[in-house]
Structure formats: structure tokens, C-alpha cells
A and B are shown apart, each in its own frame.
Chain A
């Protein structure tokens, strides 16, 4: 029942994500043409001289909202359906697969090499992995959970590395858009040819969609629900049925209990809810600011705006690089903190 409640909470925003990102209908794949025309505007605007003619060619002018929605929204790349449910491989699913694949590719060899001889002088590669693992193990897991940290280390490390690599992969632009840009720059491709809809995109776009997997409420809410389950399970494992009574901190007068208990009970759900929204909003907001700053170039069609926009976008991009690490750390740290709160309530 509690799990259902958490899912209900997260579906509140999930419905927004779905309603904001209309997925092209299976019956009419050409429905994406509206977004395609919008997307062609910034691409065509790369050349300031050609831009006015281009924007006159297709009826709708450059629009911030639609360009940003196009870049931040999900779209199916391979159609899949199972028992009436749409389980298409979308852009974000591809990025999730890539993140998982890269994690296996990076961490398994590192672990093997370190395990072979733990006392060997670390190479650059194993040294870097060791620094991150040690940081999470010592400064996050052991700092919050003390000597109870050991069983939680695998979960916390998985959370950290998965969120970190998803955040970082989202910062690399999609190959499909670079392909379109290169095609237009060299004149080999017609300005509007590359973006008819997501199904005719070159294979590079399908293999590297360049979207942030953690910028989706479905991904962050799933991570938060796992954290929620870990909190509940460790709460009941450490305190038994007393966990339900001990939600309220000690030393509260008995008269306040009818008020305090419901508040603290809701607090149990808001913790993972806040985790999910925090990661989602941080990853979405940064990308949105970069897109808006770059969008100014196409909005004002001026050479004087471009250097300012690019310098600003560059600064925000570097900030995003920091935020990618910070949010992975915050998510892991708060998970450890919430677990420690339900453990040591004696």
C-alpha cells in the first residue's frame, strides 16, 4: 500500500511529463513534422544570413518553448508494444542502456584489476575509480551509517555511479544533430532533410540520442522508490513494528501525537518524492538555461548576441558539469542519511 502511495505521488508529475511531451502516434508517424519544422529553425539559423529566408520558408518562426520542448522531450526511436502497453525504446531508454553498458565497461575491469592485487600502485584508471568509491564508502556510507554501513554500500555505490554517468552522458550533444549540422555546413544535406521525424533519423541519432536520462520523472521516481523501499525495509528490520511508533521523534508530549504522527507519516513519503523532484529539476533546469541562452542567438538574429550567448552557455555548461557530480552525491548522501535516521532511533 505504501509503495502504491509513492507511485501515486510520482505519477502526479509523471502525468505532466507525458502531457508535455506528446509522443507521435503509432498510427501516424508523420505527426512529428510539427516539431521537425520547429527544430529546423535553430539548425538553419546557424548561418545568420540564410536565417531570415529560412524562417520565411516555413510558416512558424523560432519559438523558445517549442524548441526547448523538442530538445528536452522524449521520443520513441524503435516502436515496441507489449499486451497493449507502449514499451517503445525511446531516446531516454537508449541513454539508460548506454549508461548501464558504460558502467559495466568501466567498473568491472577496474574492480578486477584492483582485486588482483589490492596493494599494487594504482594506475590512473584504477586510481580514479578508487577515489570515487572510497569517497562514497567513507564520506557518505560510513559517515552516516557508521558500522552498519556495510550492507548498504553496494546500493549507495550503484546509485552514485548510475546517476553520475547518466548526468554526464546527458551533457554530450546527440550525434544525430551533429550529423545534421555537418550535412548543412558542407551543403551535402538540404537544410530540412535531416529532421522529417524521429523514425527517419540517421542511425547515429538512434545510437546516441544525447538526452539526459535523469531528466525524466520516470527514471528519478524509480530511483527514489528504490530508496523508499530500502528505508522502509531497514526501518522494520532494525526496529520491528516499533518503527511505526518511532516515526515521531522522542520527547513529544502525548497530546501532540494525533498531530505529529500524521505529519511524520507524510514526511516518510515526501523524502523520496523530494529526492525524485530534486534530481529531475536540477538536470532539466540546467539544460533549459543552456538552450535558452543559445536560443537568444536565433531569437535576435544578431552577431553581437552570439558571443555573449556562447560565453554564458559555456559557463552554465561548466556549472552543469559540477552539478552532475553534486546531484549524484546529494542523492546518495540523502539516501544514506534517511537510512541512518530509521536505524538509530533507540
Chain B
């Protein structure tokens, strides 16, 4: 059972990172595009970008917590 759980934990963390990377990449791309179109709104766009990135990061970290919960199962 141990190795399967280990693979699962790795997948849980890895897939979540893929999702988060896609999300943060899109936010970054959209933000730079927005700033280049409208440089005077750079501050507002940056704030919104950081908030959205932090929210996505939070979602990825949920998966990290789940991965830890799974790893905890191996020790027992």
C-alpha cells in the first residue's frame, strides 16, 4: 500500500502545481497585456494580479496539505 500512496501523494502535489502554474501564467500574461495596453492602470492591475495569484496559490497549497495527509498514512 505504501508505494501506491506515495505515488498518489506525488501526483496530488504535481497535478495541483500544473494547475496552479497554468492559472498564474494566465494571470501574469493577462496582467502584462493589460499594463502594456494601459500603463496608467499598472498599479490597480498589479494589485488585482497579486490577489488572484495568492488565491490560486492557496488552492495549490490545499493539494499540498492533502499530499501531506496521504504521506502521513504511509508511516502508520
Interface residue ranges, A against B (CB under 8 Å): 13, 16, 19-20, 65, 139, 274, 277-278, 280-282, 285, 326-327, 330, 333
Question: Is B51 in contact with A278, judged by CB distance below 8 angstroms?
Answer: no
Question: Across the two chains, which residue of chain B brings its CB closest to A286?
Answer: B61
Residues of B within 8 A of A13 (CB): 65
Could you write out 12 A-B pairs with CB less than 8 Å apart? A13-B65, A16-B68, A65-B71, A274-B62, A277-B61, A277-B65, A281-B61, A281-B64, A281-B65, A282-B61, A327-B54, A333-B51
**Which residues, 22 to 76 on B, are CB-close (under 8 Å) to A?**
47, 50-51, 54-55, 57-58, 61-62, 64-65, 68-69, 71-72
Interface secondary structure of A, over-half rule: helix
Residues of B within 8 A of A19 (CB): 72
Most buried by B among A139, A281, A282: A281
- Tally of contact residues, B, Cβ under 8 A: 15
Q: Given A20, A285, A330, which contacts B54 in the complex, CB threshold below 8 Å?
A: A330
Residues of A within 8 A of B58 (CB): 274, 277-278, 281-282, 330
> In the complex, A13→B62 CA distance in Å?
11
Residues of B within 8 A of A65 (CB): 71
Residues of A within 8 A of B62 (CB): 274, 277-278, 281
With A277-B58, A278-B58, A281-B58 already in contact, the answer to whether A20 and B65 are too (CB < 8 A) is: no
Question: Across the two chains, which residue of chain B brings its CB closest to A278?
Answer: B58
**Which residues, 2 to 37 on B, are CB-close (under 8 Å) to A?**
none
Question: Across the two chains, which residue of chain A brings its CB closest to B71?
Answer: A65
Residues of A within 8 A of B65 (CB): 13, 277, 280-281
